[in-house]
Structures are given as C-alpha cells and as structure tokens.
Amino acid sequence: MKRKIQSILSFTFLTLSLAGCFIPPEGEGTDLKTQGYRPVYGSQELAEIALVNSRQVKNPGKIYRYKSFLLVNEIQEGIHVFENVDPKNPVAIGFIQITGNSDMAIKEDVLYADHMGNLVALTIDNFNTITKAGSLPLENWHLGIPPPAGFHFECIDESNGIVIHWTKAELINPGCYAIN
C-alpha cells in the first residue's frame, strides 16, 4: 500500500512539474495579448475650438440647460447647441468643436469646458459667436486625451499627431498602462 501511494505521489509530482515547465516553440506564445486601447490621431486643426454647423448627436454625454438653450456633450468631441424655446421641438443651431470635451458649466455667458488638457473659458454671445477668454492647464495630461484608467494601451507616438480619441482593441505587447 505504501508503495502504491508513493507511485501516485511521484506520478502527480512529475505531471505537475512538467506542466509548469512547458516551453513554447520559438516565436510562439511569447506575445502578451490583452484588451486595451489604441490611440486615434488627428491633426492640430482638430485641437482648435470652433463653432461649426450643427450635426447629428451620436454619442451623447452630459446635458446642460442655460437660458433658452440646451447643450448636449458629444463625448470627447464637443458640444451640440439647441435653441430650446419650445422643449417639444428643440432646434439645432450649431456645434462647438472642443476635442477631448467631457464636461461643461456656464455662468454669466461664460462657458467653461475641458479641452485637450486645459480648462477653457469661452465667452458666448447667444451662441452666435464664441471667443476664448482664458485657459488653465489640468494636471496629468499626456499628449492629448488620456486613455481610460486601469487599462493597457498602445504607447503614444508623437510623430503621428495628437491623440483625439481611443478605440478599444486587442493589443499585443502594449507597453503602456494607465494608472490614474
């Protein structure tokens, strides 16, 4: 009986040892595959704040009401502006292109918004014109819009332009990880 137990234990130890020592063939199995984010690059022109023609809401974020206007954030792209005199029939009047935008507030005809690592103050004239009144840098901003915290991401290559967005993707050996 003692010999049988020793044989079973020896076989189990040998099996576990071999399983832990598996070495993949050269060039196979050495790449780390993980879900993460890949940067989408754009030109410096996309980093400029501009009041442009209205467009369809595709990826809405926060909603803000100011006077007779309704503002709807287009996540990471800017703010849709609607005339909201008749809440049953809001009228699209324009889009404020603010790359990287996710939040906004307005006080006394000054729109405050996040933009490419800065908090910007924009004077608004009933959304007929906007003028940049000031800017304050935000901390922990790296070459454009940061990737979501807690994920691997493809490291940023400044030679490709500025990061205007991130797409979810399967990455191989991503090299970077977002902590904040």
CATH classification at residue 79: 2.40.10
pTM: 0.66
In this structure, is residue 152 part of a structural domain?
no
In this structure, is residue 37 part of a structural domain?
no
Q: Which residues partner with 132 through β-bridges?
A: 122
Among 52, 97, 53, 89, smallest CA distance to 73 is for: 97
In this structure, is residue 1 part of a structural domain?
no
In this structure, is residue 79 part of a structural domain?
yes
User: Tell me, what's the pLDDT at 23?
Assistant: 33
Over the stretch 55-69, which tens digit does the pLDDT of each residue have? 999 999 999 999 999
In this structure, is residue 67 part of a structural domain?
yes
Over the stretch 126-179, which tens digit does the pLDDT of each residue have? 899 999 999 888 765 544 566 778 889 998 888 888 787 788 999 998 888 887
Range of the domain at 102: 46-137
Q: What are 24's two structure tokens?
A: 């993949």
- Count of domains in the chain? 1
Among 71, 47, 51, smallest CA distance to 60 is for: 71
